Structure 1
Amino acid sequence: MITRRRFALSLSALALSPLSSYVHAAARKIPALLRPPVAREEAVTDTLWGKSIVDPYRWMEQKPDTDEFVSYLKAQGAYARQMLDRLPGRRVVEASVTRFTAAVTDVAIRQISSTYIIFARRTPGQQTYKIYARPHAGGADILLIDPEAGAQGGAPRRVTGLLMSPDSKHLAYTIDKGGDEIRELRVLTLDGGKDVLITLQNGLPASWLPDSSGFFYSRLRDGAVKGKVDYSFDTATWLHRMNTEAAQDTMALRWSDGPAMGQTEREMPMVLTSTVSDWALGAIYSNGEWPAYGMVARSSELAQGKPNWIAVFGKDDVAVHAVTAGDYVYVLAKGKAERGEVFKVSISDPDKTKREVVVAQGEYVIDSLSLAKDGLYIHELRGQVGALRRYSFATGKVEDVALPLSGAVWDVNCNARLEGAWFGMDGLTWFARIMNTGADLKAKDIGLTPKAPFDTSPFLTTRLEIKARDGVKVPIEILHKNNTKLNGKNPVLIEAYGSYGIILDPGFQGSKLAFLDQGGVIVYAHVRGGGEKGESWHLAGQKANKPNTWRDAIDVAEALIKDGWTSRGKIALWGTSAGGIMVGRAITERPDLFAVAIGEVGAFNTLRFELTSNGPGNDEEFGTVKKEDEFNGLMEMDAYHHVLPNVSYPATLLMTGANDIRVEPWQVAKMAARMQKNHDPKRPVLMRVDFDSGHFSTTRKNAIAKNVDVFSFIFEHTRG
């Protein structure tokens, strides 16, 4: 967060910087703290649109972090660690989570090159994903990148992006440390293993020149300061040529280049070339996600620094993806078709009135497209399961790929010079498989993932629609054991998100089976603000409509009680990132309904979010305090300012990564401080801090530890 795309702290680590009496206490391993640490209050009052907003913890927002705030984080982490470690059912939960996660091999396709299938794999015992290449012609897998190789301690390293050259001889890739998302961009030459640093300025590979002589990448401007609101402003795309020094790289595209279509310095420009077109796409992304503006220039002219940009689509098209083939740009857009359509733009005549729709809007939401030699492969969401279709260049027909199972379809990858598509499939209660379909449209398992090391047959998925208070039907998926009884006695964990038009599509997660194995039930609620039913579903949970998001979650909880799945006092609600709005406002509006709240890296203080490094651009989703109507919407969705004294809120576990740049830790810390003023040992508020992670867990160990803490906490407070 807060972007569109898609998480234990050791006491010994606390002893390294004894900045408060709480830290000294943790280092000496004295008995657990009886109360949470108390934050200093220093009220700041803002008057916005005639309303006085009092903020007692504004001091936590200072950048860079002060010693006082770091001390407070460590004290909170120590207190949470002591309380979580004392939970009586923890060992049983830990054994179950370990059983369902430690022995699993995770695999995901990352790219299809002319020679290789590039994939990430994490085998049992490995903490991070390694990157491999499997030759199309057969033969042993080739290890390309081991992020921990040569590491001498310190924060965990992980590969965050990669891009193989068209000739399959070079790999541009990025690594971050401790989940800080400050990407180090490097390029590896496969023959000989030469590995060269390109930039430390949060680089991101975009595309290679068609002849593999160089590649385009984005990076921050010189002097960008993490934590400042203008941190990502004036990010530009650069061209690096192989066998030259990075200092000789040339700027290829800035936000201000080309036709003036409304783009500003807060947008990110990317150059996307194609091996089957002489034209490169200049995509201008809003807050780093989805192309808001698109233009094209000849690749040869761009490489010479003399592009003549031609506009091909704009913000009103609500583009989701775009690819270039021959003299055409194919755009998946939702501007005129809320569930998505694909239109073709002729570069020689890009007039909007002459666009040709090649895949019309249908009954289902179109989520993505990928370019292959034989056509466009299109992912659809059919109800709550995935489907894959192909628009054929030869026939102009749109046909289904025959899938062997019903479940999620993800990471669809194609190569413009090869037929077919490679993709992952899984179900909420069955293990992932990597599939391939050729031009015959018959998908098969390519054997990249081993069979599950445990039996998943005792677990089921039930799909329903719940009627919200205004009559709208909200889709839900219920994960449970096959012998679960509707007797109102089941601990239920509801997870929801509801922002940016993102489709909540979690897929198989072994750790969740551990929760079911211990008698719990998990519910994924597809609340408004997501994209499950198209762009109107998204807009119904945006800005002034945001209350629909958390009220849908509330209505789902009420329906589960009515149908016997659970009862009041046995419901937990989990929201992550932008989902912090959902969970924070659900528990502040209906504190009586939920027994437990889990707020992971959550945006709880939305009135202040636009002033963070990741804030610019998010006004389009949530609003800005600079406009009265949008200020009122932000105030309504701000959970921090809805916490009241002397109210009994659910037992709450708030979580943050100390290196989080998307939702800075003070967003979580301020929420914790305000909720903890109502200290109730029976309904504690804990703030779990992971100093080795950012917005996401960086290692398998960290992810397991997080889930053990969450599930133990939920069971402790729903089985009374």
Structure 2
Amino acid sequence: MTTPTAAQAADAAAASARAPGLTYPDTTRGDTVDPQFGVDVADPYRWLEDDVRVNPKVAAWVADQNRITDAYLATLPGRDTFAKRMTELYNYERYGLPTKAGNRYFYTRNDGLQPQSVLFVRDGLKGEGRVLIDPNGWAKDGATALAEWTPSEDGKHLLYAVQDGGTDWRIVRVMDVATGKDLADEIRWVKFSSLAWAKDGSGFYYSRFPEPAEGAAFQSLNENHAVYFHKVGTPQSADTLIHATPDKPKLNNSAVVTDDGKYLLVVGSEGTDERYGLTLYATGKPGAKPVVLVDDYANNWEYVTNVGTRFTFLTNKGAPRQRIVSMDIKKPGALTELVGEEEATLVGASRVGNRMILSYLGDAKSQARIVALDGKPVANINLADIGSAVGFGGKASDPETFYAFSSYAQPTTIYRLDTVSGKTEVFAAPKLTFDPKQFTVEQRFYKSKDGTEVPMFVAMKKGLDRSKGSPTILYGYGGFNVSMVPGFAPTKLAWLDKGGVLAIANLRGGGEYGKAWHDGGRLANKQNVFDDFIAAGEYLIAEGITGKGQLAIEGGSNGGLLVGAVTNQRPDLIAAALPAVGVMDMLRFDRFTAGRYWTDDYGFPAKEADFRNLLSYSPYHNIKDGTAYPAVLVTTADTDDRVVPGHSFKYTAQLQHANVGDKPHLIRIETRAGHGSGKPTDKIIAEAADKYAFAAKWTGLVVE
């Protein structure tokens, strides 16, 4: 990496003059050029990749950018109004899905505006809940969160993970549930790990990376993921290595304890694709040779249950929209189909008592069914028409399960289901500060550039004047087999409440219609995602839902890439762009932390065909000098070690340098926050109020 110089500092000053009322910080442009496949790729802001904690110049740049952005945002008339309404909408009692262990029920609860949700436990279904873990006292700013947690089989101990400042790294601890006191056990350098108790409660399985070099924890590549067993009451240094793949350092390895406790299933994967290998260990036979069940890393394999040596899996092998099969581990290659592929996409399966619950997506809406262990239909679970149901976990020994249902204007309600009687009852329902009946949700279908029909949800307040179009936020993701299903967000409801429209497009690259839909929006087909999003915006305007100059686009992570690419390709279509924690440099994404996993969707920058495709849409490299751009508010966070903030820093610097019109092109950089998870409520509200006030300003939404 070359050292940045001040040779072109005047260019930045000239660019800042093009935005009346705004003077952007002078950002030093370096002279880094990387020759790749005959193309000289300029990277003048390479120095902004450095960790803000390590490089004081980057820290100073962040402070300067935030100072300019904060001053601008403070002038927006809708900012305080949005913050107030979002606070009101967030202020309701929220429950998480319960987990039963022994006779105890564990669940999270937030009284409304607590920075972090609190973990409760109750003895018996109707018992009085008591606080087990309250993370709100862990940090003054509320940015240290309770992450993953799981009780032991008998409910006597709790295994839980601590997430500080939004990082993906976890510190894992063990608690005595009866006393609420932590044991001495502490596990570090855990990331992207399942937490799986041995059935006898003697210890647990987890996955970790080697300890990174000093100062490199938030940027170095994550490799050599290995599974360990920790015996409760012993130091981490005594943990037993169960499964490692030093010959394949890019593999992630995650542990699953089978329902009967007799086996440990290690699931290996290299990237983000659901292409797994399966290795089976007998838990009661130390030193026994593991059995490789699947080693081609070609398909999705999700363990559902087992009866003896016959294992049941959800898989897309031979079924792009997935099916349920069984396999005798004595004959790993032979499969017996239990539930065949259907038109709806099978997205989840779990065993509860002597039943299996299957979760489907039909046109991006949730469906759920109960079947016998041999796959024969038992009953459908009745859900609302447009909404999302999650959960349905349980045990082979217990017919009780819980699930959560929500929609765009319906906060999460928790239901308890008995799979024997079929009886469903409410476990926890929120008391609301608004009337969901005031809002309406439609599902529409539109044609993309190549004629592909794409679904889109459109939500708005009932009675909204639709004669002239309304300011609209179009949200998308389009990648990594992730489905955009209806769900509740108080921040987005505030936009609807103030008269805005929310549209969520189910773009190719997601998992709404199985493997073919995902494949249609990745690698060489990535442009389809952008075309789908552009077509969604054109449809909203053509249908009069929104008007010219009234459309804002929003997306985070891979969706941030989406917003950045579409802003470059069709700046005339949109009035405001809100790219969050986006992947903006498509030629260097694989060099940092988790970035190397993403080659499944993006390809390899070091391969010529992939390089040329990536360069064609990379947001950082395709900003069009001399073209009028919409208003842009980039958001990221200093502790994001999933998509390192250097992506957003470099993109913003280039955007501010270019001659792209007079509208503001700003970046908001949160401190002590990461890619999104673990963010305290007050930070969520503050960021969303800024973003939507910005969108309101440039789409013409009057916020009173």
Name 1:134's counterpart in structure 2.
Answer: 122
Q: Does 1:191 align with 2:178?
A: yes
After superposition, the CA RMSD in angstroms is 2.2
Residue 427 of structure 2: SS of its match in structure 1?
coil
Q: Give the equivalent residue in structure 1 for 2:11.
A: none
Which stretch of structure 1 is more off in the superposition, 635-644 or 650-659?
Answer: 635-644
Q: What letter corresponds to residue 208 of structure 1 in structure 2? A: W
The answer as to whether partners of 1:320 and 1:334 remain within 8 angstroms in 2 is: no
Residue 8 of structure 2 corresponds to which residue in structure 1? none
Can you list the C-alpha shifts for 1:532-583, whole angstroms capped at 9, x where unaligned?
A: 1111110010011001111111101111111111111110000100112211
Aligned counterpart in structure 2 of residue 419 of structure 1, from 393, 399, 412: 399
Which residue, out of 575, 578, 581, partners 1:598? 578
Contact 1:596–1:714 (CA<8 Å) still a contact in 2?
yes
SS at match of 1:615: helix
Alpha-carbon displacement from aligned partner over 1:436-487 (angstroms, at most 9, x marks no partner): 2212474634332333232121110011101112111110000101112332
192-201 or 510-519, larger mean C-alpha shift: 192-201
> What's the counterpart of residue 674 of structure 1?
654
Q: Is the 8 A contact 1:581 1:602 kept in 2?
A: yes
Q: Do the aligned residues in 2 keep the contact of 1:156 with 1:698 (CA within 8 Å)?
A: yes
User: Aligned partner of 2:575: which letter?
Assistant: A
Q: List gaps (5 residues or longer) in structure 2.
A: 1-19
Deviations 1:651-704 (A, max 9, x none): 001000110001111100111111112477851011001102110161010111
SS in 2 for 1:264: coil
TM-score of the superposition, structure 1-length normalised? 0.90
Counterpart of 2:291, as a letter, is W
- Find 1:118's aligned residue among 90, 103, 106: 106
Cα deviation digits, residues 6-58 of structure 1 (max 9, x gap) = xxxxxxxxxxxxxxxxxxxxxxxxxx983121211002111111211111101
CA contact (8 A) 1:334 1:340 kept: yes
Q: Does 1:293 align with 2:277?
A: yes
Identify if the C-alpha distance between structure 1 residues 457 and 447 changes in structure 2 by more than 3 Å, giving closer, same or farther: same
Distance 1:446 1:326 in 2: 35
1-structure distance, mates of 2:665, 2:589 = 23
Residues matched between the structures, number: 677
1:197/1:39 CA distance change after superposition, 3 Å: farther
Superposition deviation, residue 289 in structure 1: 7.6
1:291: Cα distance to partner?
6.3
Residue from 16, 34, 37 that aligns with 1:46:
34
Q: How far, CA to CA, are the matches of 1:313 and 1:532 in structure 2?
A: 27
**2:683 matched residue in structure 1:** 702
Q: Deviation digits for residues 498-545 of structure 1, max 9, x if unmatched?
A: 001110125011221210111100000011100111111100100110
Uncovered stretches (5+) of structure 1, i.e. residues with no partner: 1-31, 257-262
Give the share of equivalent positions with the same residue, in percent.
25
1:318 maps to which residue?
Answer: 300
- Alignment partner of 1:72 is 2:72: no
Partner residue, 1:526: 506
Does the CA-based 8 Å contact 2:204-2:231 persist in structure 1?
A: yes
Whether the 8 Å contact between 2:555 and 2:562 is mirrored in structure 1 is yes
In structure 2, give the amino acid aligned to 1:39: T
Any residues of structure 2 matched to 1:529-544 within 5 Å, and which?
A: 529-544=509-524
Q: Contact (CA 8 Å) 2:105, 2:125: kept in 1 or not?
A: no
1:160 to 147, 155, 161: 147
Gap change, CA 1:629 and 1:467, over 3 Å in 2: same
Contact 1:528 1:540 in 2 (8 A): yes
Equivalent residue for 1:336? 318
In 2: Cα distance, 1:691 partner to 1:186 partner: 26
Alignment partner of 1:617: what SS? Answer: helix
1:107 deviates by 1.8
Is 1:251 the equivalent of 2:251?
A: no
- C-alpha distance in structure 2 between counterparts of 1:585 and 1:628, whole Å: 20
Q: Which amino acid aligns with 1:222?
A: E
Shift of the alpha carbon at 1:714? Answer: 0.6
State the distance in 2 between where 1:508 and 1:438 align: 26
**Range with greater deviation from structure 2 (83-92 or 454-463):** 83-92
Q: What letter matches 1:585 in structure 2?
A: A
Alpha-carbon separation, structure 1, partners of 2:693 and 2:350: 41
Q: Is the 8 A contact 1:575 1:582 kept in 2?
A: yes
Contact preservation (8 Å) 2:472, 2:500: yes
Letter in 2 for 1:166: E
Using the alignment, how far apart are the partners of 2:700 and 2:207 within structure 1? 51
1:88 alignment partner in structure 2: 77
1:372 counterpart letter in structure 2 = V
Contact kept, 8 Å, 2:357 with 2:368, in 1: the verdict is yes
Q: By how many angstroms is 1:319 displaced? A: 2.8
Alpha-carbon shift at residue 288 of structure 1 (Å):
7.3
| More deviation, 285-294/114-123 | 285-294
Deviation at 1:328, TM superposition (A): 2.4
Write the distance in 2 (CA, Å) between the matches of 1:406 and 1:522: 15
The correspondence of residues 676-695 of structure 1 with structure 2, limited to 5 A, is 676-678=656-658, 682-695=662-675
Q: Distance in 2 between matches of 1:147 and 1:288?
A: 30
What is the identity, as a one-letter code, of the residue corresponding to 2:321? Answer: R
Decide whether aligned partners of structure 1 residues 192 and 290 sit closer, same or farther in structure 2, where only a CA change above 3 A counts: farther
| C-alpha distance in structure 2 between counterparts of 1:255 and 1:324, whole Å | 26
Give secondary structure in 1 for the equivalent of 2:189. Answer: coil
Contact 1:591 1:650 in 2 (8 A): yes
One-letter identity of the residue aligned with 2:327: V
1:419 is paired with a residue of what secondary structure?
Answer: strand
- Are the equivalent residues in 2 in contact too, given 1:312–1:347 (CA < 8 A)? no
Hey, what's the Cα distance between the residues in 2 that align with 1:590 and 1:329? Answer: 50
1:395-451 deviation per Cα after TM superposition (whole angstroms, max 9, x unaligned): 733642233665211133222321142110011111211012212474634332333
Partner SS, residue 607 of structure 1 = coil
- Where does residue 272 of structure 1 map in the other structure? 256
Distance 1:404 1:516, change over 3 A: closer
Q: Which moved more, 1:317-326 or 1:616-625?
A: 317-326
In structure 1, the residue corresponding to 2:442 is in which secondary structure?
strand
Cα 1:104–1:305 shift into 2, 3 Å: farther
| Residue 212 (1) aligns with residue 201 (2) | yes
Answer yes or no: is 1:712 the counterpart of 2:659. Answer: no
Structure 1 residue identity aligned to 2:236? A
8 Å Cα contact 1:109/1:117 also seen in 2: no
Question: Does the aligned pair in 2 maintain the 1:648–1:678 contact within 8 Å?
Answer: no
Q: Secondary structure at the match of 2:264?
A: strand
Deviations 1:181-226 (A, max 9, x none): 2211101111233313422212545211111111111122134564
Shift of 1:162: 0.8
Task: Tell me the amino acid that sits aligned with residue 57 of structure 1.
Answer: Y
Which residue in 2 is equivalent to 1:15?
A: none
Corresponding residue of 2:411: 431
Of the three residues 361, 366, 372, the one matched with 2:346 is 366
Summarize the Cα distance change of 1:679–1:629 in structure 2 as closer, same or farther, 3 Å threshold. Answer: closer
CA distance in 1, matches of 2:382, 2:196: 31
Contact 1:109/1:424 (8 A) holds in 2? yes
Distance 1:664 1:97 in 2: 28
Q: Which stretch shifts more, 125-134 or 606-615?
A: 125-134
Conserved? CA contact 2:387–2:407, under 8 Å: yes
